[in-house]
Amino acid sequence: MSSQPTRIPAAWQGVIAHYRKRIQITTAVPPVTLLEGNTPLIPAPALAKSLGGEFELYLKYEGLNPTGSFKDRGMTAAMTQAVADGARAVICASTGNTAASAAAYAARAGLKCVVLVPEGKIAAGKLAGALSYGAQVISINGSFDDGLRMVREAAQQAPIALVNSINPARLQGQKTAAFEICDVLGGAPDWLCLPVGNAGNISAYWLGFKEYHADGVVASRPRLLGAQAAGAAPIVLGHVVEHPETVATAIRIGNPARWHEAATALEESDGHICAVGDDEILAAYRQVAQLEGVFCEPSSAAGLAGIAKGLREGWLDLRGMRVVCVLTGHGLKDPDTAIRLSVAPSIIEPNMVALMKQLKIT
């Protein structure tokens, strides 16, 4: 037996360092990073089989980023740019994940962070994160869309940097997920499926895939399948939703800021956007956990619910294809929904008779 430790080759330095030449933000300051990115692309054969099989399915598990969602990819870029621009404070509106991510990266950068969240509509793990990282959390009696309107104005009236995905640096960071998928697969997938809320992520993925394709890194580009919650589906409906409502609180958005870019991405990729009901989202959420052991938050399962719906209704044909489904946030973000949907644990006395009864062994 060798007594030498095995060195892990080339430690990961975060998405900006890894894709430096492709990230169009400042190079004037070192990246504000928590070593985000490099998330696993997990094969999901059992899930593919339950959906009818005949295609290869992979899960891009973005819940394994430092604050538990894909937002960290964009936030490393936005916060680095903010530091280079001399910002002292940052602000965002959020359904929760952006708030937690902004709070963490602001802490890392030594900046003040203010987040606006919709009162009563943010999952516990996200609020816990934002508060713990030391952000000033302001809860508004309104929607995410109200919050976004307010922070846009605040950034114009006060010296505070806006770090929502209308900030172009955010998309520069988030497009690295497309690069990683191609780098791991050795090419682009046939389809990329993901939930759509404010529409920054679908726009960022498309930027990334287009860039790799234009530079000849990959030979093809995927078709995009976006999924919105039925109660918050402005892009599907073609009009703003005044009072969005869904169990998938992360995507409870009625007027996406990146609507136009998302529509262009869907058109250019010959993609499709669909609406999925809360029951379909929750079914997919439980299925991915129970068939593959991958725990994501409810909103994250919307893309998967979209695949299931498309296959069921016959407008999606995946036979022989390689499909990537993006799971945008970790299941632990929303413990209340997880527990509410599950059978409560049985409570027993601390003795073997009681235990054996539970095991149904007589």
Residue pair 241/254 in contact by the 8 Å Cβ criterion: yes
Nearer to ligand F0G, 13 or 152 (CB): 152
Beta pairing partners, 227: 195, 274
CB of 163 to ligand F0G, least distance (A): 10
Q: Which residues pair with 43 in a beta bridge?
A: 58
Indicate the residue among 96 and 208 with the shorter CB distance to ligand F0G: 96
User: Which residues, at least 6 apart from 41, have a Cβ–Cβ distance to it below 8 Å?
Assistant: 58, 59, 60, 61, 180, 181, 184, 185, 324
Tell me, residue by residue from 48 to 77, as one string, x for binding to ligand F0G by CB under 6 A and - for no binding.
---------------------x-x------
Span near ligand F0G by CB under 6 A; candidates 52-60, 94-102, 232-240, 266-274: 94-102
Check binding of 178 to ligand F0G (CB under 6 A).
no
Closer by beta carbon to ligand F0G, 52 or else 134: 134
Please give the Cα distance from 84 to 265 (Å, whole number): 30
The span of 95-103, 152-160, 232-240, 284-292 binding ligand F0G (CB under 6 A) equals 95-103
Comparing CB distances to ligand F0G, the nearer of 154 and 217 is: 154
Residue of 39, 76, 172, 198 interacting with ligand F0G (CB under 6 A): 198
Nearer to ligand F0G, 80 or 201 (CB): 201
> Which of 49, 243 has the CB closer to ligand F0G?
243
CB of 41 to ligand F0G, least distance (A): 17
| 207 belongs to the binding site for ligand F0G (CB under 6 A) | no
Contact set for ligand F0G, span 116-145 (CB under 6 A): none
Q: Name which position in 36, 145, 292, 297 contacts ligand F0G (CB under 6 A).
A: 297
Direct distance between the N- and C-terminal alpha carbons of the chain, in angstroms, rounded to an integer: 48
Which residue stretch of 33-41, 44-52, 196-204, 205-213 sits at the interface with ligand F0G (rule: CB under 6 A)? 196-204
Check if the beta carbon of residue 316 is closer than 8 Å to that of residue 307. yes
Query: Which one, 107 or 224, has the nearer CB to ligand F0G?
Result: 224
**Closest to 63 in 3D by CA, of 125, 9, 107, 19:** 125
Q: How far is the CB of 347 from ligand F0G (least distance, A)?
A: 33
Restricted to residues 323-362, the positions that interact with ligand F0G (CB under 6 A) are 328-329
Q: Which residues bind ligand F0G (CB under 6 A)?
A: 69, 71, 94-98, 165, 195-202, 250-251, 297, 299-300, 328-329
